[in-house]
Amino acid sequence: MGYLFGLVGYPARDSKSPWIHEQFLKKQGEQGAYRIFETSPDALEDKLQALKMVEVDGFNVTVPYKEEIIPYLDEVDSYASSVGAVNTVHVQDGKWIGYNTDGKGYVRSLLEEYPDTNLKKTQVLILGAGGAARGIYRALAEAGAPVIDIANRTASRGEALRKLRCGSTESSVLSLEEAEEDLSHYDLIVQTTSVGMTPNESGQIISLRNVKPNAIVSDIVYKPFETSLLKEAKNRGARVLNGHGMLIYQAALAFEQWTETFVEANDIVTKFEQQLKGDTTC
């Protein structure tokens, strides 16, 4: 009998996760299936109770349930607990154990693309302070980044994110205007908001006029294929990282957790990008 994985979210039917996990299953020579368990908020409790009756090996959790799932879990690992959100549940001996692979997936995609990056010497600026920023902040802090500044439209959310600081990481909260002015201080800029996402592709959270030529500018938005921010970064001679790798590697880390195997996923990123280029649905 093969594995059974799935996704709990709403809406979830257009998720790329089934495709991604089918690639992993095929690549690892494993039997199994990945199903979408789309669940509206008023049905969450019943859906989760029903899921407990099914022989599921693990599932992902997406918007809007990454925090709401926590009371239904038997255990939450320390990283997910500090981030306050779970995107992966592993069912082990009937127990539901929560993990978060989003931020770690980002860091893995960064190091796959730019393996010479020494995060212990990298000055980081994160744009945005929402759920996506939380996972990335914590993963970069745990990797030893000495400075992780946060620029957000709403300062109070930036302050809340700063509380995730650990180790010797230093953090300041800036306005978006201050970030634009001081951009030359940073080696890595991580755009985590939805600004610039299809269908609002002309949106750009800040100008990059002060970016350092060799800095890495990354945008976790994966549609359009290249955001306005990344186009400007390239034009200014910066290195770029799009959101495709993060999407694949957060999934790879979940798959690795469920199957206790290692997935080399670079070729899946390439295949995914080929698919996106050919996708004309939006």
Q: Is the dihedral of CA 173, 178, 184, 190 positive or negative?
A: positive
Distance CA 155, CA 254 (A): 32
Q: In what order do the strands lie in the sheet with 216-219?
A: 173-174, 147-151, 123-127, 188-191, 216-219, 239-241
Which residue's Cβ has the minimum distance to ligand ATR?
130
The answer to whether residue 66 is catalytic is yes
Burial class (CB in 10 A: 0-12, 13-18, 19+), 143: buried
Least distance (Å) from ligand ATR to the CB of residue 58?
Answer: 22
Distance CA 189, CA 206 (A): 11
Tokens linked to 54 = 């099914």
By beta-carbon proximity to ligand ATR, the closer residue of 41 and 130 is 130
Least distance (Å) from ligand ATR to the CB of residue 179?
Answer: 11
157 binds ligand ATR (CB under 6 A): yes
By beta-carbon proximity to ligand ATR, the closer residue of 12 and 91 is 12
Binding pattern for the stretch 187-216 against ligand ATR, x by CB under 6 A and - elsewhere: -----xxxx---------x-----------
By beta-carbon proximity to ligand ATR, the closer residue of 15 and 266 is 15
Q: Active-site residue among 27, 52, 66, 271?
A: 66
Stretch in the footprint of ligand ATR (CB under 6 A) among 30-38, 40-48, 149-157, 260-268: 149-157
Stretch in the footprint of ligand ATR (CB under 6 A) among 12-20, 75-83, 148-156, 274-282: 148-156
Residue 27 · residue 268 · CB < 8 Å: yes
Distance CA 63, CA 94 (A): 24
Distance CA 248, CA 251 (A): 5
132 binds ligand ATR (CB under 6 A): yes
Q: Kindly list the catalytic residues.
A: 66
Which residues of the shown chain bind ligand ATR in the complex (CB under 6 A)? 128-133, 152-154, 157, 192-195, 205
